[in-house]
Amino acid sequence: MDTLVEADRAEPAQDCPVGWHPAVDDFDERYVVFATPSLTVRFTEPFASFVGEAAVRQVRPVLVTRTDARVSPFVSSVMARAGGVWAVQARDCATYDAFTGSQVGSPVELWERPDTDGDDVHRDRLAGFADPSGSAVQVVTFDVRTHQIVGSSTKVGMVAEQVGALLGTSWQCWSTREPLLAGWDIDAVTTVVRRGMPDSPTVRAGGTDGAFCEVQASRTGAGVSEHTLGGVPVSADADLAALATKVGELVVGQHNLTFASVAVADYDHDAAGLVHSPRARVPEVPVAVVLGPTMVRDLGVDVAKMVDLYGARVVGRAQVPSLLVVFGEGDPVRRLDKVVQFYLDAGVGDALTGTRGAR
């Protein structure tokens, strides 16, 4: 793979030249590349332009950084939605997959493994990839979809405020791009969202202890659909099932909920806040999902069957029930897969795996 970013050096090496551009550094019919020597990669205007260019070209975005770089949660989030990949380049210009640590010879190998007998077993690995991280923290992530009728008192961001407070954070700053320079103000957030309709830009917020949040809204025929997602660090001994239950009860009790999920993820925490770094990490694990009353009604969900088969709890009003499924011990990923498969034909799968463009 051609050298696109000078890694781990104060000055470029003669045999390892730096290639850098604020939007796109390389491309072909399958991908576009954003290469940067920055230690911390944030969702800046140039990075947003890069992801937007990938969407226009309908190709995969490829981020290339130095081996000791870290990316903000907002970069991770938008790259995940866009099907993006992340590569790191070492001092000798060798390039590695930041998620697996395996050496690659071209950007395409980040998502299409070449046919080799040894597969990944015989590939060189990024030095230190599997070493324990001294900055690893456990983060409770949430993804909530709600709907509200438009009125003079309509505000966007209430879900973020309430879920954040329940998990122990308060939002301090916000913007649509990093750096987040404005102090958190739900009225200002609502104004930006309203002006961006019918599909608003994504508002990004930062909280205490590195917590992060994204809020986006879209106009529908019956009001406004709001999508809120984020993450808050919690202690290693936190009762995840209890926290997920509280989140579920909160969003059902305070909002017209469509769907919500709670999971636990592995992040690093340093001076830059919560970040992802190129290291082996524990995959995100689902803790709970909540089907709102509209989804339960419109899809004809068999409430009794959900209770019997998956240990679901009925929450909210009995006349318009919501269903909370806490996965608990065992294999939560497998249990989530079964729930999705059970109602996939009815459309629940789309709600569980639905994505939206990076904005």
pLDDT digits (tens, 9 = 90+) for 84-141: 999 999 888 899 999 999 999 888 899 987 655 555 555 688 988 888 888 899 999 9
pLDDT recorded at residue 158:
96
CB burial of 81-91 (b: ≥16 within 10 Å; e: otherwise) equals: ebebbbbbbbe
| Calpha distance 263→138 (Å, rounded) | 10
> Average per-residue pLDDT in the chain?
84
175 shares a domain with 152: yes
- Residue 201 vs residues 1, 189, 196, 217, 276: alpha-carbon distances, Å: 35, 10, 6, 8, 24
Indicate the number of domains in the chain.
2
Q: Identify which of 6-10, 156-160, 281-285 has the greatest average pLDDT.
A: 156-160
pTM listed for this prediction: 0.85
Mean pLDDT of 228-246: 95
Rg (CA), the chain: 21
271 shares a domain with 149: yes
Instruction: Check: CB of residue 269 under 8 Å from CB of residue 70.
Output: no
100 shares a domain with 69: yes
260 shares a domain with 181: yes
CB-count exposure of residue 151 (10 Å: 0-12, 13-18, 19+): exposed
43 shares a domain with 85: yes
218 shares a domain with 193: yes
For residue 303, give its domain range: 136-353
In a domain, 197, yes or no: yes
In a domain, 12, yes or no: no
73 shares a domain with 181: no
Where does a domain end: 100, 122, 144? 122
